[in-house]
Amino acid sequence: MSLIYADSFDTYSVLTQRYDTVNYGISTPVIATAAARNGPHGLYINDAVYSYSPSVRKNFTARATYVIGCAFQALTGFTDTCGIVSLWDGGTNQVELRMNSTGNFQFFRNGTALGSQTAFALSFNSWNFLECYITISSTGGVCSLHVNCLPVISLTGQNTQASVNASASGVAWGAAFPIDSPANLKAYYDDMYVLDPTVGSYNTTFLGDIRVSAQVPSANGSTNNYAQTGASFAGSNVMAVGQQLIDSNGNLQRVSAITSDAKTGASAPAWATTPLGGATVSNHVTFSLIQVAPLSNYNFVNEVPPDTSGLTYLSDGTVSDEDLYSFPPLTGATVFGVQVDLRACKDNSGARSIRALAESGGTTVDNGTGFPLSENVYADYQGIFETDPNTSSPWTIAGVNAAQYGSKTSV
């Protein structure tokens, strides 16, 4: 399988839920509405004053070759040469793509220039799609850059290996390698993808200007083995947007807004029972009616941002149990893959793992490898499916929309 990661930033709000390292600058890299190219959110990195190295990093199994794509918008205030995307072997920066204050690009090996700076200059305050093809090697390294599907840099026979290993195990977006003082990186990122073009039969080169479309479940699927757990109202309780509870009528209520100290009232309110979306205000917390009893499993896993408090969740302790959901339809032409995002933990000792599922045309497959869960510590996991289980061929939009996705208890 070539495709190994994608991100739209649209269904979660805390970067540490997806990224292994978040480095800070004058302000923390954040998920922001202003940074959205497609969907409601994108990544905003701002280090316009101090000499820090703001970035987010995702770790992967070590490999020699990566293709990395992302929508990128450099903002006014980007005043020095800064890193845009980089590959790392542990703590060693192998290769980094940099851009200067006039929009010109150049690759570097741990601070040493590779090739020359481009005559091409990126426009500021507008979206562009960047794609890097990088191979780590002491003699046969490759560094290629496409901007908006057009080749800008093509280097071969390079020394791209700064560590003892001819591989990289992490991808960072942002100024992860200190360059100037200050760094002055100020940019938006969205629609990211990462692939290894040396494996698999599909997605073996640049994907082009793509969109990462995110959806949350909108209905139960054909199989729902998991059990529902829901907390009840607690007086004077601090709440957060996305948290849920089951009210005194057995209906599902979700926090849609908070003010002031974000505390509920001392006693339970008179809950809205109609219409769906109807509001109930309890002191400084506003709830929206999500579903009238009986409740459906999909509404326990479709909060945006995800409810990480454990107030409502699905649980299971039986190996091979599955929970599947339907999703709203997507539009588009070409589908490069489906990524099923899971967020889970275990609640006691002993081994427990889950897998992502895709069901199409009566055929259900999992991602092939279990994700071991940590006790009482939620973590995010991604299972990727490059082909339709029903056809064993690349997905079509119709196939994606007809399929169901979910999770399986694997150990």
Q: Which two tokens stand for residue 267?
A: 């006693």
Q: Which of 126, 56, 132, 138 is nearest to 97 (CA)?
A: 132
- Strands in 231-373 per DSSP E: 244-246, 252-258, 279-282, 285-291, 312-315, 322-326, 338-344, 353-360, 363-366, 371-372
Predicted TM-score (pTM) above 0.85: yes
Q: Which of 219, 262, 221 is nearest to 243 (CA)?
A: 262
φ/ψ (deg, to 5) at 299: -75, -5
pLDDT under 50 in the chain at which residues?
A: none
Segment 156-187, tens digit of pLDDT? 999 999 999 999 999 999 987 665 555 578 89
The pLDDT value given to residue 176: 74
The HSE-up count of residue 131 (CA atoms within 13 Å, CB side) is: 21
- In DSSP terms, which residues pair with 21 in a beta bridge? 57
Whole-number Å distance between alpha carbons of 223 and 20: 33
The answer to whether 382 and 340 have CB atoms below 8 angstroms apart is: yes
The pLDDT value given to residue 81: 84
Buried b (16+ CB within 10 A) or exposed e, 18-47: bbeebbebbeebbbbeebbbbbebbbbbbb
DSSP letter (8 states) at residue 44: E
Whole-number Å distance between alpha carbons of 157 and 115: 11
Q: Which two tokens stand for residue 124?
A: 């500021």
Whole-number Å distance between alpha carbons of 254 and 260: 18
The pLDDT value given to residue 25: 63
Whole-number Å distance between alpha carbons of 367 and 389: 11
The pLDDT value given to residue 157: 98
Report the C-alpha dihedral over residues 171, 172, 178, 182, rounded to 10 degrees: 160
Q: Which two tokens stand for residue 200?
A: 């698999």
Q: Which of 134, 203, 201 is nearest to 172 (CA)?
A: 134
The answer to whether 122 and 105 have CB atoms below 8 angstroms apart is: yes
349-353 contacts: CB < 8 A, separation 24 or more?
349/375, 351/411, 352/317, 352/409, 352/411, 353/410, 353/411
Segment 46-77, tens digit of pLDDT? 875 555 678 999 999 999 999 999 999 999 87
The pLDDT value given to residue 77: 76
Range list of H helices, 264-360: none
Token look-up 């399988």 returns: 1
Token look-up 């940590």 returns: 374
Q: Which two tokens stand for residue 90?
A: 């542990």
The pLDDT value given to residue 185: 81
Whole-number Å distance between alpha carbons of 78 and 54: 13
Domains of the chain with CATH codes:
3-195 (2.60.120.200), 224-313 (no CATH), 316-409 (2.60.120)
Whole-number Å distance between alpha carbons of 114 and 132: 14
Whole-number Å distance between alpha carbons of 173 and 73: 13
